[in-house]
Structure 1
């Protein structure tokens, strides 16, 4: 009997809305965002309504250790009136990254509260206000399967204002959608693998495609065999839960033959034991998140219509479960990928590049995009190169594409560091048996990228190896301990920018 796939629960986010002017009554909790320049312009009027001198309150809190660094907080109870407490939140110099941190701090403070009124500085630019809204969503992230003591839910409602008559809801609304992509990608990556398998991921993609007005196609194991997706099939052979290839298509209104076209390819390994090249127990823990790249592609695709992306986009998620068994693929096997290129397997734990190779080859041969980007938690080696939680690895054959992605990383807070693709290392993945091997003793993240490069053909291509930013060791700023959903906000920011393919050859 086929296992039923549980329906995906779309995130219940805090209701965030912009309000021109100060509310007459407001919520029981007021939040005042404080930057290096001091209190917002409307703080005096707000203080009069609250019955508290906010300048004096800030002075007292600074004397007791509060700083205006991004995300710092100080709560002050009020003993009379409709408002019961005031929270001061630091915003640093007011950059979008610092306001994202501040928004996340507000969200954490607001868990379990019915309503917050939040006063931000007048005149902050749209990017910074968007960042604050993103932080409100990302700092609200929760995932639990507890039946008791499940912790506080998200804040019920958060009203934003700067006290002016300006309507800045567009920036807020964009921030909420971009933040939601990060939440979705985290939720995918955090879902345990006894529930999450390739069929589950395909079902969730189908649901979100319907929500976002997208087209979707799913290859099951029989269709994968018929069409020759040898990499995806090989990796999935050892599991009783068969692989899937998921295709999601977004076409903007008014699109024509000249509309720029991007294909995203995501690694969707729903659990990675290493296969017959079995991981140690310690290395296997957290491998439920090895589909972060694929989850980020699905989350990104779900937002494109809401945000009015101007280009065509196809998302491909190459999904399998990498398990050891009597049917598993072996070291020394030779795989024939989509389109015919062959790979000699030397390590079944280097499986991500095998499934991505099929997706890249399909994109080049069948879809013919103007640019091609794959995204994966591909190698532990990138952590050695870049450390944890600062930068993801970026490899690219086109300087303009690399620049566009790096710029989107700076805006979104999912920063990238460009890595080299030296041709001199190609010999490290050569073999007389096949077109290449799938692993080597050389620089691991670079040789993995060189392996994938061969499948991208002449299409401008970038490879994002995000293992270094895919998991947070602690609750900090917009991140919660565990999976970060790395890449969703980065890709959404890039694809919904004014001209994502500017300068790309």
Structure 2
């Protein structure tokens, strides 16, 4: 796993700060010039000159280096935050990521940092900046020869906030625990499909027991899955020579409560489309089709590191969707754990089948207070919302409200889509209880309506992360390919689990 190294510290005053590779001074832009976003520290001639001649204007993400002679830092780094009146934590994250790119290029390993003065709560400000510093540090090098031998040298190792409280320092340090969960999610999605098979995914889950005594993991092999009559997961698995796994991981952070929240992840470790075979360019990224399960495990890992006082259950239905002589067939009917039968009209709509058994089992056997499933489920959601915004569906408005609050507080973009009940008739079958797909029209809604048939009355949300789970190029503090989307939002949601008990 990619190591998550970072050390946050605090200095009681500007004079008490330690030596470092760089000192970050934040600036706003106003009237086409830069103005300090901090209290005046005294005259630094080079800074005044850079602003006066127009070399630095304070635009968002603008970074300018000065090399002083008599400071504790080798560099003074001017960071533009844009216009003060329009600044948000989302824009701050982008600005500080621009800073991190410049720091990496210069192999800067330690920073001193003054917080900008802005009408954002200090807690949110420190959280946004700290998370950005650590998440921007991520580099996936496992598959490169040098990366297998040594860790890259251009990591930022530490940051010292000047003049913050112990409470704010604790928030900064928590960013490392959050990032560890995001790193795990990114690693699992970035790895070769041969390195993240259903069995190896289960091994990764099992290894989390070593993180905390509060984590317990149960894994069903194929025989147990057959015994549980999870016919839909087994149907998806028929074309693969790798056996499926059904994973249940629990984190018992509140032993005095019986209430627990469930996260259900799609764990299709490689998706060829089955007999409804994908074209090559559509199959290229399909090692990522288990991103839902990776997000679930990353969230559980971070929750344990943060020692959250909640009970969390993570459920994963994992298989390959391969093509072979035993592949499940278009037109055939299979019965799932719920007892409902499904007519297969598209073998490339396999994720919802695996999830149907996982959701049914979670509802009937585990009985959560509420649950969310995460899945790279439809290309239609990418057409609708692009790759920066997650489309989600919910059968409970209060749950939806908390999801959107947590998304806003963590700057993970999300948009609620409708569970339009009149569209359910698209999935009517003449030979089974329901079809698994009905063509291109309203594809994301179809998939969500299908899943809804297996959640009964439990407050539930479905997050379609097909666009947000991985990107073809890096953007902001998200690297190329796996983004780790959702972990931070879900952790915030879990921290507010007391609000969900009223559902």
* Kept in 2: contact 1:268–1:318 (CA 8 A): yes
- 1:167 Cα deviation after fit: 5.3
Asked if 2 retains the 8 angstrom alpha-carbon contact of 1:137 and 1:179, the reply is yes
| CA–CA separation in structure 2 for the residues paired with 1:493 and 1:211 | 20
1:139 is aligned to 136
- The Cα shift of 1:202 comes to 1.0
Matched position secondary structure for 1:372: strand
Cα-to-partner distance string for 1:270-309 (whole Å, 9 max, x where unaligned): 1111111110000011111111111000000112233343
Matched with 2:442 is 443
Name the CA shift for 1:54/1:215 in 2 (closer, same or farther; >3 Å). farther
Q: Output aligned runs, 1:443-482, within 5 Å.
A: 443-482=442-481
Residue 114 of structure 2 is matched in structure 1 by 119
Offset of residue 491 of structure 1: 1.0
Structure 2: distance between partners of 1:247 and 1:340: 21
Q: 1:34 maps to what in 2?
A: 27
Contact kept, 8 Å, 2:6 with 2:176, in 1: the verdict is no
Tell me, which stretches of 5 or more residues in structure 1 are unaligned? 1-8
Q: Distance in 1 between matches of 2:234 and 2:220?
A: 11
Deviation at 1:28, TM superposition (A): 2.4
Number of aligned residues: 486
C-alpha deviations, 1:449-497, integer Å up to 9, x for none? 0000000001111111111212224322211121212221111111113
Aligned counterpart, 2:276: 277
| 1:158-237 aligned within 5 A | 158-163=158-163, 168-212=168-212, 213-237=214-238
Deviation at residue 503 of structure 1 after TM alignment = 4.5
CA distance in 2, matches of 1:129, 1:54: 28
* Partner secondary structure for residue 168 of structure 1: helix
Matched, 1:339 2:334: no
Change (3 A) 1:341 1:18: farther
* Corresponding position: 1:90 with 2:88: no
- CA deviation map 1:160-207 (0-9, x unaligned): 313356652122122222233222211111111121111111111111
- 1:116 is displaced (CA, Å) by 2.3
| Per-residue deviation, residues 435-457 of structure 1 (Å, max 9, x unmatched) | 11111123100000000000000
In 1, distance between residues paired with 2:199 and 2:154? 30
Query: Is the contact between residue 190 and residue 482 of structure 2 (CA under 8 Å) also seen in structure 1?
Result: yes
TM-score (norm 1): 0.90
Q: Give the C-alpha shift of residue 252 in structure 1.
A: 1.8
What is the RMSD computed on CA atoms of the aligned residues? 2.4
Closer/same/farther in 2, CA of residues 448 and 380 from structure 1, 3 Å limit: same
Matches within 5 A, 1:286-305: 286-305=285-304
Q: 1:54 to 1:255 in 2, by over 3 A?
A: farther
DSSP 3-state at the match of 1:499 = helix
Secondary structure in structure 2 of the residue aligned to 1:202: helix
The answer to whether structure 1 residue 67 and structure 2 residue 58 are counterparts is yes
Residues 338-347 or 36-45, more deviating: 36-45
**2:126: which partner in 1?**
129
Q: Provide closer, same or farther for how the CA distance between residues 264 and 166 of structure 1 changes in structure 2, counting only shifts above 3 A.
A: closer
Measured after TM superposition, the shift of residue 159 of structure 1 is 1.9
Taking a change above 3 Å as real, the CA distance of residues 265 and 121 of structure 1, as seen in their structure-2 partners, is same
CA contact (8 A) 1:39 1:55 kept: no
1:114 to partner: Cα distance = 3.1
Which residue, 6, 14, 20 being the options, matches 2:12? Answer: 20
Q: Deviations over 1:387-416 (max 9, x none)?
A: 221x21111110011111111111122221
Distance (Å, rounded) in 1 between the aligned partners of 2:73 and 2:482: 36
Which residue in the other structure is 1:429 paired with? 427
442-451 or 219-228, which moves further after superposition? 219-228
Q: Choose 353-362 or 319-328, whichever is displaced more.
A: 319-328
Deviation of the 1:421 alpha carbon: 0.9
Conserved in 1, the CA contact under 8 Å of 2:381 and 2:466? Answer: yes
Q: Secondary structure at the match of 1:385?
A: helix
TM-superposed CA distance for 1:371, in Å, is: 0.8
SS, match of residue 44 in structure 1: coil
1:77 corresponds in structure 2 to 67
Counterparts in 2 of 1:40 and 1:152: CA distance versus 1, 3 Å: farther
Distance apart, 1:386 and its partner CA = 1.2
Q: Is the 8 A contact 2:240 2:320 kept in 1?
A: yes
Q: Give the Cα separation in 2 of the matches to 1:270 and 1:334.
A: 24
- 1:105-147 Cα shifts (integer Å, max 9, x gaps): 3333333333222222367510121011110121111112211
The answer as to whether partners of 2:11 and 2:164 remain within 8 angstroms in 1 is no
2:411 counterpart residue number: 413
Which secondary structure state, in structure 2, belongs to the residue aligned with residue 427 of structure 1? Answer: helix
Say if 2:111 is the partner of 1:110. no
Q: Using the alignment, how far apart are the partners of 2:39 and 2:93 within structure 1?
A: 21
Q: Report matched runs for 1:285-364 at 5 Å.
A: 285-364=284-363
Distance 1:19 1:292, change over 3 A: farther
Is the CA contact (8 Å cut-off) linking 1:44 and 1:54 kept in structure 2? Answer: no
> Using the alignment, how far apart are the partners of 1:497 and 1:90 within structure 2?
33
Per-residue deviation, 1:81: 6.1
> What TM-score results when the alignment is normalised by the length of structure 2?
0.90
More moved, 238-247 vs 117-126: 117-126
